[in-house]
Amino acid sequence: MAQPDRDHISSNEYFEIEASSEIKSEYFHGSIFAMTGASFNHNLITMNVSTALFGPLRDLGCFIFSGDMRIQVQQGNHYTYPDISMVCNRVDFEGDRNDTILNPVAIIEVLSDSTKNYDRGSKFFAYRAIPSLKDYILIDQYACHVEYFHKNDAGQWVLEELTNPDDILVIRSLGIDLPLKMIYDRVNW
């Protein structure tokens, strides 16, 4: 995680800053962290996944959101911008806001050198507290490697790793198959 942009601020101040800022920032317990730009591979993977999932999710009555939609991880304390988030049925927003989702069912992060430890560690730990979340997917942009975490019926998070381009990621909570060949289409390593 990057260094905070300034000293402790309230979540209300954070929302005010975000409303007038040209860059997105995540909020964590009084600190804001500017989001950096993404690489070619990062953007391509995000678009490949979004495009592949759009139709099947629409058919299920679900929504897919890009990295511009904020997620409330912990009310008043933690807000993030996942690369991709999915919500099924009704989208619940924080208060009267229409830019902060409360009920993602699946979150996808495309890993970069600067975020991979955060995405695998404290960010995932925090995401696990979101009651609606069933699937967390980490996609490596430097090699064919997908880490798929899903919550089983006992409430335990189970990891599956996929490393073969012929593998198919089965997003269990949605019943959707996503071939790694689609995820990595035209990606240049």
* Residue given tokens 């997917």 in the structure block: 137
What's the pLDDT at 5?
46
What's the pLDDT at 70?
96
What's the pLDDT at 34?
83
End-to-end CA separation in angstroms for the chain: 24
What's the pLDDT at 1?
47
What's the pLDDT at 76?
87
Instruction: Collapse the DSSP code of 167 into the 3-class scheme (helix H, G, I; strand E, B; otherwise coil) and give the result.
Output: coil
Partners of residue 33 on adjacent β-strands: 26
List, for the chain, all residue ranges whose pLDDT scores fall below the cut of 50. Answer: 1-6
Full-model pTM: 0.91
Structure tokens at 53: 């999932």
Domains of the chain: 39-183 (3.90.1570.10)
The per-residue DSSP string of 105-156 comes to SEEEEEE-TTTHHHHHTHHHHHHTT-TT--EEEEEESSSS-EEEEEE-TTS-
> DSSP label at 68?
T
What's the pLDDT at 4?
44
